[in-house]
Amino acid sequence: MPTVAEFITLLGTIAPFSKAAGWDPVGLQIGDPSAEVTRVAVCHEVTESVLAALDDQEEVDLVVAYHPLLFKETRSLVASTRPAGRAFRLIRSGTALAVVHTAFDVASGGAADALAAELGLGDVRPFGPVWGADRVKVVTFVPEPFADDVADAMAGAGAGSMGDYTACSFRVSGTGTFLPGPHASPALGEPGVFNREPEVRIEMVADPGRVEAVVAALVSAHPYEEPVIDINDRRGDAGMIGRVGRLDSTVDEVAALAAERLGAVVRVAGSGPVESVAVVPGSGSAFIGAAAPIADVLVTGDVGHHRARDSVSRGLAVVDPGHAETERPGMRALYAAVSEMTDAIDLTATDPTPWRGI
């Protein structure tokens, strides 16, 4: 049987956690990484109904949820019907919780692709970047013969990790110049003599929490008495949360199609002919600006009054089937993907939305 940690690694092949939004608590949220996994359940989010369904099952070791259970800082875990209380009950039962959310949205074959496929879009391509966790870029300059030693030391301290790749660096050759003072002890050159040295600029990314260790390793391996080290804030590792594709139609026909395929009551803003449709699963109104130049209509959930007005003024109609409804195709895709890893329990249709019609 795999451990929780091993299953999370496997889960990362269908939901690349490094591509999730930086604000999103994806990955293992609750549980013991060393515990064995024998039974897995998949749900949209951990609600009271999902916990009741878990109680009716034989012991479940791991729940794979699309939405995070704990989104905000939690100061206490006390039994209740609140998210922290549900987390307490999972811990008490020994059930681990893994979250995929925006990591699965952006993934190939994930929630965005599933929504585009459900609406029958053609020539689908990604749009709408979501930026990953804050990282920094560590830059140094080193004599050419020592470049591999310094880069290897930095990698050993945690720099240069990008998704499934490690020891990633960028290097470019140039000329460094320096004039050692009379009390200097230069590794190359002599005090009082202006020196030109062939050097390599090395750039490697690192998590902010690893910077001190990376810098210590760099300094230890670097031959210079005073190596130059630059730490630059970095914005990168974007995943694309939306999809846009061709569909010759009208806004009203797209709305009717969304209502039928997603089992939803839709809201519509705007009208007119349609050649291209943009989709964002869940709450995607923040991507109106990105969608307006490339699509005639945006299909997403949770669109407020003012953003709908803004969208129509940009020439982009909006079809809003609801938050959970736009994620339904993705939930089917998530369950299918997890089922290829193990014999999973399907709870994706259990209490997916707090809304009900009257």
At 199-240, the pLDDT tens digits run 999 999 999 999 999 999 999 999 999 999 999 999 887 899
Rounded Cα–Cα distance for residues 269 and 233 (Å): 40
Q: Side chain identity at 60, as an amino acid letter?
A: V
> Where does the pLDDT of residue 303 fall: very low under 50, low under 70, confident under 90, or very high at 90 and above?
very high
Instruction: Determine the Cα–Cα distance for residues 137 and 224; give it in Å rounded to an integer.
Output: 20
Burial annotation 18-44 (CB, 10 A radius, 16+ → b, else e):
bbbbeebebbbbbbeeebebebbbbbb
Please give the model's pTM, rounded to 2 decimal places: 0.88
Phi and psi of 99, rounded to 5°? -120, 140
Q: How many CA atoms lie within 13 A of 39 on its CB side?
A: 10
Better pLDDT: 308 or 165 = 308
Q: What tens digit of pLDDT does each residue of 242-266 get?
A: 999 999 999 999 999 999 999 999 9
Is the confidence at residue 357, as pLDDT, over 80? Answer: no
Across the chain, where does the E strand assignment appear?
27-30, 40-43, 62-65, 96-99, 122-130, 135-143, 170-178, 195-206, 229-234, 239-250, 267-269, 273-283, 297-301, 317-320, 345-347
**C-alpha distances in Å from residue 41, one per residue of 44, 55, 171:** 10, 12, 45
pLDDT category, 317, cuts 50, 70, 90? very high
The stretch 42-59 carries a mean pLDDT of: 94
Query: Is the pLDDT at 163 greater than 80, yes or no?
Result: no
Neighbours of 171 (CB within 10 A): 14
Q: How confident is the model at residue 352 (pLDDT cuts 50, 70, 90)?
A: confident
72-92: per-residue pLDDT in tens? 889 999 999 999 999 999 999
Whether pLDDT at 95 is above 90? yes
**Cα–Cα dist 191/189, whole Å:** 7
Structural domains of the chain, with CATH:
4-103+330-347 (3.40.1390.30), 108-130+240-321 (3.40.1390.30), 135-234 (3.30.70.120)
- Choose between 162 and 339: higher pLDDT: 339
pLDDT-derived band at 162, boundaries 50, 70, 90: confident
Alpha-carbon distance of 17 to 161, in angstroms, equals 13
CA pair distance 223, 239, nearest whole angstrom = 38
Question: Would you say residue 114 has pLDDT above 80?
Answer: yes
Q: Name the nearest CA neighbour of 104 among 149, 159, 66, 60.
A: 66
Q: What is the pLDDT of residue 309?
A: 98
**Which three-class secondary structure string do you get for 288-337?**
HHHHCCCCCEEEEECCCHHHHHHHHHCCCEEEECCHHHHHHHHHHHHHHH
CA distance 218 to 156: 10
Higher pLDDT, 354 or 99: 99
| Residue 96 confidence (pLDDT) | 98
Q: List the single range of 161-165, 242-246, 284-288 with lowest mean pLDDT.
A: 161-165
Give the pLDDT score at 356. Answer: 81
- Termini Cα distance of the chain: 47
Q: What is the DSSP letter of 59?
A: P
Structure confidence at residue 3 as a pLDDT band (50, 70, 90)? very high
**Mean pLDDT (whole number) for 134-154:** 96
pLDDT at 189: 86
Phi, psi of 137 (to 5 degrees): -115, 125
User: Does residue 164 carry a pLDDT above 80?
Assistant: no
For residue 62, what are its two tokens? 């791991």
Q: Read off the pLDDT of each residue in 312-327 and give the average, rounded to a whole number.
A: 98
